[in-house]
Every structure is written in C-alpha cells, then in structure tokens.
Structure 1
C-alpha cells in the first residue's frame, strides 16, 4: 500500500494474532500443550514487537539487548525442556534466531535496512534461513489431510460435533500457528 511499511504491519498483525491464539491455548487441560503454547506466545509477541516498521517506531538503544536477554532465557528454558520433548528443540532454534536478530539490530540499528553489499548473506543468517524454510515446508506438509474430508452430510447431521478435542487442543490449529510463525521468521530473516 504505502511502501515497505505495509508488509511490516502485516507481519506484526500475523505474529500478534498467533501470540494471542497461543495464549488461549495455554488454557488447555494437557500440561505439555500449555507449556509449549507459552513459549510460542512469547515468540509470537516478541516477533510482533520486533517487526514494527522503523518508520512508525524506533526502539530505544536498550531494547535490543533486552530482547537478547529475554530470548536468551527462553533459549535456556527450551534447552532444558528438550530433555523430555524434541519439539522444544524448535523452540530453542526460534529463541536463538531472536537473540541473533536482536544482536544484529543492536550492532547496526541504522544500517539494518540497507543492502548487504558484496559480502552476501552472513553465514548464521543463511543457516537460520535454511532451517526455517525447511521447517515451514515440513510443517506445511503435516497440515495436508491424511484422509478424505468430512462430507456435507456428516457435517449437517452433527455426527462430528462433540467428537475430539476442544478448539484450543486441536493439533492442526497448533500446527497452523507454528507454520505462520515459521513463515514470519523467514520473512524477518530475509529482511535482516
């Protein structure tokens, strides 16, 4: 619409909506679901705050080190939780990517929107891009239904009502949430 700020605001909206949904998922009766949703909510809101276009708000100099500390703590928590669940390794990668982006922004706050020059994409940025692109592709394939979709008659008869988990415990919604945050991470890394 009005230049490069529009994609930034769309990214902010996507990440904030994902974070809000993850907060609602924290009401789940399944403990692992609640723990995972908490980390994902932090990631969604943190990404939303980091994606605010610089034309609208330039964070103070202390904000980037604060991001690094918060997401560094989240990375340590994810590392500790990875002992019991492999999914927390993805949380570790997400938190590490946020620490990396905060460090890059703190090192060059005015130059982060300029071209990379002749040096190309930095190695860490490239590695994180490869990981998150792979994650997005894998997560996207997991959302493809394995069987036929319910027919209109089954939906109309109500035979599917009451079956399965509540809307906050639906694994496909959690996967869609993770997919949207993965795509947002790719967009943020490309903009770095």
Structure 2
C-alpha cells in the first residue's frame, strides 16, 4: 500500500485487532455467527497483512498470488453461502476486493522488480468498489447508532454474540477497505 507508514501501521493494528476479535466471536453458540465470524477474521488478518507499509517489509513475489488464491477460495465460499441468505453478499464483495488488490499488488511488484508493494488497479473498478464500501460504511454506521445496549448484556447472550459488536467489526473493516482502496 502507498501512503505514510504511520497510517499504514494504524491500519495494520486496527485490522489485526478486528480479526482477533472475530476469532473470539467464532466461539459463539449460534452457527451462522460462527461462520460469519470466521470469514470476517480471515478478512481482518488479510487486510492487516496487505496494509503493512512497504518501507517495513517487501513480501516475496509469491505472496500476492497466494493471497489472491486464498481470497478467491473465500469468495467461492461466500458465493455458495449466498444461497442461504443475501447477508453473505458483503463477504463476497470483500473477498472480491481483496483478490483485486492482491492482483494489483502482484502486478505492481513485478513491474517494480519486487521493490515495494501497492499499485494502481483499474480506475473504474477501484471507483466502483470505493462506492460500494463507502455506501456500506454509511448504511452500517446509521444502523449501528440506534442499537441500544442492555446494561450487562441481554440475558443468555454472550459478549461474542452481541449484534452491535459484530456490526462494529464489519464497519471497521469496511472503513479499512476504503482506506486501502484510496491508496490504489
């Protein structure tokens, strides 16, 4: 990713922390939440790896194709899960955006002979992804505001099952995606 190292490290920390929380959410008793949390953890950690500033670490040439393959598999899984509900469309969009950025970074690293990462993709596709994720941030942010927290949590509801925390995770990752797409 292009951009200042300090903002890159902040994005790495934010995405890694979100991924770690999503891993904890995988302990939920609700089957659907466990599966969603797994995909979101993968997204958080993948975004954290992708956001590492180029001045700190230049990944080997094979890293970007591997990341693209991992998110292609995640995208296929999300596409299969869309049959069960439209809520998985966002995971499909996120996986697609990660594949797109990994391919752009792979192309950039081969054109710069491995000296740095980050690259420019197709402006129209980058713009379309930006529009989607900005709209998602705005809609999710509005939905997050009216959620009232019950003091001490709802009866029988574990801290990993709280809907406002799951929405906050998705919001954080969407904001991170907007930041990463802006650097392309």
Query: Is the shorter-chain TM-score for this pair beyond 0.5, marking a shared fold?
Result: yes
Q: Tell me the residue number matched to 1:132.
A: 133
Aligned counterparts of 1:101 and 1:125: Cα–Cα separation in 2: 9
Q: Which residue of 2 aligns with 1:34?
A: 34
Say whether the 8 Å CA contact 2:104–2:118 is kept in structure 1: no
Task: Give 1:122's aligned residue.
Answer: 123
> Could you give the per-residue CA deviations for residues 121-151 of structure 1, whole angstroms, max 9, x where no partner exists?
710000000000000000000111256x77x
Instruction: Give the deviation of 1:164 after TM superposition.
Output: 5.2
Report the equivalent of 1:54: 54
Alignment-derived partner of residue 104 in structure 1: 104
Alignment pair present for 1:179 and 2:171: yes
Q: Aligned residue for 1:167?
A: 159
Provide the residue aligned with 1:93 in structure 2.
93
Larger radius of gyration: 1
Q: Between Structure 1 and Structure 2, how many residues are aligned?
A: 177
Pick closer, same or farther for the CA change 1:78–1:173 going to 2, 3 Å: same
How far apart are 1:86 and its partner, in Å? Answer: 1.1
- Which whole-Å CA distance do the structure 2 matches of 1:25 and 1:161 have between them? 15
Find the counterpart in structure 2 of residue 13 from structure 1. Answer: 13
Residues 165 and 22 of structure 1: CA distance in aligned 2, closer, same or farther (over 3 Å): same
How far off is 1:62 after superposition? 0.5
So what's the TM-score if we normalise by structure 2?
Answer: 0.90
Quickly say closer, same or farther: Cα 1:50–1:164, change in 2 above 3 A. Answer: same
Deviations 1:64-111 (A, max 9, x none): 100110000000000000100211110000000000001111111248
Relative to structure 1, the CA distance from residue 104 to residue 113 in structure 2 (aligned partners, 3 Å threshold; closer, same or farther) is closer
Any idea what SS the aligned residue of 2:9 has? helix
Q: Does the CA contact (< 8 Å) of 2:67 and 2:102 recur in 1?
A: yes
- Could you tell me how far apart the structure 2 residues matched to 1:73 and 1:113 are? 22
State the distance in 2 between where 1:73 and 1:52 align: 23
Q: Residues 30 and 179 (structure 1 numbering): CA distance in 2 closer, same or farther, change over 3 Å?
A: same
